[in-house]
């Protein structure tokens, strides 16, 4: 095809395509997109809130678990050798009793207990999401 | 300057003014929807995909590096979503008469000039529908949105040479299909 014919074809196509115009979506299209944007904003906010709750919980649970472990292994509660065992004995007895009761009752291997713990945490996570959604 | 650049609204959205995104949607919705409807050939699915494309663009706006136009980046999202949609639904939209196209540019042009604008538009749409989705995308972006060959290559992930070849073929096929459609119309009237 010659350059002239090629250019003519190009011009014709441009002219026709521009005459054809664009298709248009439904009238409320922008509104629906913006509703989706709002939803995404809310979800992002919810995600932030949820991670905050988990951070707070971890800040409490991790030190508690650490001290509990040290107590159970008979080591001093703090690395410096400071032993709170005697001072806290009445309170610790309650936890000890509870713990021994659980271990006796369950006496299950560690893997199913781990799975149970994960399921519990997931359920707890869902509950946090649900309660946050309800309070929106 | 009457026309504020897309980048201004993108910055506002990134600063937390999410309502500015509505201006971007309003500005690009017709082209996004046109691309989707031409690729998918279904209005409902096209609306759904166009909506998804805008939401995906909103989520990924932080990653938009402004190395290209916002529209080019957005069309790339639309194109990808449409291709995924077609693959998921196993719709293989092949262009008709992939080989053996010969064009006499005079022929459809003269006949088209004698038509009413609405008929002309209808026949061009019919001819467009006979092209493959990549050819439709390329021809639409090139002639209806003034995207450059380089930009179209960015949208479709083809090489620039490949885009040029496809554009050339798409143009030829469009004219051939248009000629066939017009001949068929004339024969049916006689």
- With beta carbons less than 8 A apart as the criterion, state whether B61 and B20 touch: no
Task: Summarize the confidence of residues B106-135 as an average pLDDT.
Answer: 77
Q: Which two tokens stand for residue B131?
A: 């092209």
Q: Which two tokens stand for residue A10?
A: 């190009």
Task: Summarize the confidence of residues B78-105 as an average pLDDT.
Answer: 69
Among B134, B133, B144, B111, smallest CA distance to B42 is for B133
Distance from C-alpha of A88 to C-alpha of A91, rounded to nearest angstrom: 6
pLDDT band of B137, cuts 50, 70, 90: very high
Lowest-pLDDT range, A34-38, A108-112, B141-145, B158-162? A108-112
B125 and B177, same domain (yes or no): yes
pTM of the model as a whole: 0.68
A42 touches chain B (CB under 8 A): no
Nearest-CA distance A24 → chain B (Å): 5
Higher-scoring residue by pLDDT: A55, B132: B132
Q: Given an 8 Å threshold on Cβ–Cβ distance, is A40 in contact with B59?
A: yes
Distance from C-alpha of A13 to C-alpha of B128, rounded to nearest angstrom: 11
| DSSP run (H or E) holding A39 | helix A29-72
- With beta carbons less than 8 A apart as the criterion, state whether B50 and B32 touch: yes
B114 and B164, same domain (yes or no): yes
Structural domain contains residue B96? no
Q: Which two tokens stand for residue A59?
A: 């800040």
Q: How many domains does chain B contain in total?
A: 2
B59 and B122, same domain (yes or no): no
A24 touches chain B (CB under 8 A): yes
pLDDT band of B96, cuts 50, 70, 90: very low
| CATH number of B77's domain | 1.10.1740.10
Structural domain contains residue B162? yes
B66 and B118, same domain (yes or no): no
Mutate to test the interface with A, among B14, B19, B27, B51 (most CBs of A within 10 A): B51
B60 and B120, same domain (yes or no): no
**Residue A49 DSSP label:** H
What percent of chain B has a predicted confidence (pLDDT) above 70? 84
B32 and B74, same domain (yes or no): yes
Q: Which residues of B150-185 are buried (b: 16+ CB within 10 A; e: fewer)?
A: ebbbbbbebeeebbeebbebbbbbbbbbbbbbbeee
Distance from C-alpha of A6 to C-alpha of A10, rounded to nearest angstrom: 6
Lowest-pLDDT range, A62-76, B94-108, B170-184? B94-108
Q: Is A41 helix (H, G, I), strand (E, B) or coil?
A: helix
pLDDT band of A122, cuts 50, 70, 90: confident
Distance from C-alpha of B49 to C-alpha of B54, rounded to nearest angstrom: 9
ipTM here: 0.77
Structural domain contains residue B12? yes
Q: pLDDT at position B184, please? A: 80
- With beta carbons less than 8 A apart as the criterion, state whether B176 and B102 touch: yes
Alpha helices, H only, chain B: 6-14, 20-40, 43-59, 70-88, 106-113, 117-129, 133-144, 149-156, 160-189
Tokens 């190395």 — which residue? B67
Lowest-pLDDT range, A96-100, B31-35, B150-154? A96-100
pLDDT band of A109, cuts 50, 70, 90: low
Tell me which of B62, B88, B114 is where a domain ends. Answer: B88
The radius of gyration computed from the CA coordinates of chain A, to the nearest angstrom, equals 32
Structural domain contains residue B152? yes
Structural domain contains residue B153? yes
- Residue-range definition of the domain harbouring residue B146: 106-189
A24 closest CB neighbour out of B22, B33, B128? B33
Distance from C-alpha of B134 to C-alpha of B39, rounded to nearest angstrom: 8
Q: Would you mind telling me the total number of residues written for chain A in this entry?
A: 136
B67 and B114, same domain (yes or no): no
Q: pLDDT at position A134, please? A: 58
Lowest-pLDDT range, B49-58, B86-95, B103-112, B175-184? B103-112
Residue B16 pLDDT > 50, yes or no? Answer: yes
pLDDT band of B105, cuts 50, 70, 90: very low
Distance from C-alpha of A17 to C-alpha of B166, rounded to nearest angstrom: 17
| CATH number of B132's domain | 1.10.10.10
A17 closest CB neighbour out of B51, B59, B143? B143
Q: Which two tokens stand for residue A15?
A: 């002219």
Distance from C-alpha of B93 to C-alpha of B97, rounded to nearest angstrom: 13
Q: Given an 8 Å threshold on Cβ–Cβ distance, is A34 in contact with B21?
A: yes
Structural domain contains residue B83? yes
Distance from C-alpha of B118 to C-alpha of B172, rounded to nearest angstrom: 22
Q: pLDDT at position B119, please? A: 78
Q: pLDDT at position A105, please? A: 64
B50 and B111, same domain (yes or no): no
B167 and B125, same domain (yes or no): yes
B11 and B75, same domain (yes or no): yes
Task: Summarize the confidence of residues A79-98 as an average pLDDT.
Answer: 69
Distance from C-alpha of B139 to C-alpha of B158, rounded to nearest angstrom: 14
Q: Given an 8 Å threshold on Cβ–Cβ distance, is B144 in contact with A8?
A: no
From chain A, the residues in CB contact with B55 under 8 A are: 33, 36-37, 40
- Backbone phi, then psi, for B60, in 5-degree steps? -100, 10
Structural domain contains residue B32? yes
B143 closest CB neighbour out of A5, A14, A34? A14
B62 and B122, same domain (yes or no): no
Among B70, B77, B95, B83, smallest CA distance to B147 is for B70
B64 and B116, same domain (yes or no): no
Among B70, B33, B10, smallest CA distance to A27 is for B33
Tell me which of B59, B88, B117 is where a domain ends. Answer: B88
Structural domain contains residue B99? no
Higher-scoring residue by pLDDT: B172, A46: B172
- With beta carbons less than 8 A apart as the criterion, state whether B50 and A25 touch: yes
């Amino acid at each position: 095809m010659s350059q002239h014919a090629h250019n003519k074809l190009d011009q014709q196509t441009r002219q026709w395509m521009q005459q054809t115009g664009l298709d248009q979506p439904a009238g409320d299209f922008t509104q629906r997109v913006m509703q989706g944007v709002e939803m995404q904003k809310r979800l992002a906010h919810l995600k932030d809130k949820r991670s905050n709750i988990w951070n707070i919980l971890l800040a409490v649970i991790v030190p508690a678990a650490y001290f509990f472990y040290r107590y159970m292994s008979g080591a001093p509660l703090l690395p410096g050798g400071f032993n709170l065992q005697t001072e806290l004995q009445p309170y610790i007895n309650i936890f000890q009793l509870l713990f021994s009761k659980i271990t006796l009752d369950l006496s299950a291997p560690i893997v199913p207990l781990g799975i149970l713990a994960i399921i519990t945490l997931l359920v707890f996570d869902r509950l946090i999401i649900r309660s946050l959604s309800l309070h929106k | 300057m009457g026309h504020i650049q897309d980048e201004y609204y993108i910055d506002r959205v990134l600063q937390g003014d999410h309502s500015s995104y509505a201006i971007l949607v309003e500005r690009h919705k017709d082209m996004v929807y046109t691309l989707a409807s031409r690729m998918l050939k279904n209005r409902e699915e096209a609306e759904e995909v166009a909506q998804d494309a805008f939401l995906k663009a909103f989520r990924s706006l932080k990653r938009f590096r402004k190395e290209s136009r916002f529209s080019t980046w957005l069309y790339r999202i639309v194109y990808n979503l449409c291709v995924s949609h077609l693959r998921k639904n196993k719709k293989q939209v092949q262009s008709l008469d992939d080989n053996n196209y010969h064009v006499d540019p005079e022929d459809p042009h003269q006949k088209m000039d004698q038509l009413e604008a609405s008929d002309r538009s209808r026949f061009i749409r019919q001819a467009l529908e006979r092209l493959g989705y990549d050819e439709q995308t390329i021809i639409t972006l090139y002639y209806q949105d003034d995207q450059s060959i380089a930009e179209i290559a960015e949208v479709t992930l083809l090489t620039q040479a490949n885009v040029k070849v496809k554009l050339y073929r798409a143009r030829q096929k469009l004219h051939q299909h248009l000629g066939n459609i017009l001949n068929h119309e004339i024969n049916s009237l006689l």
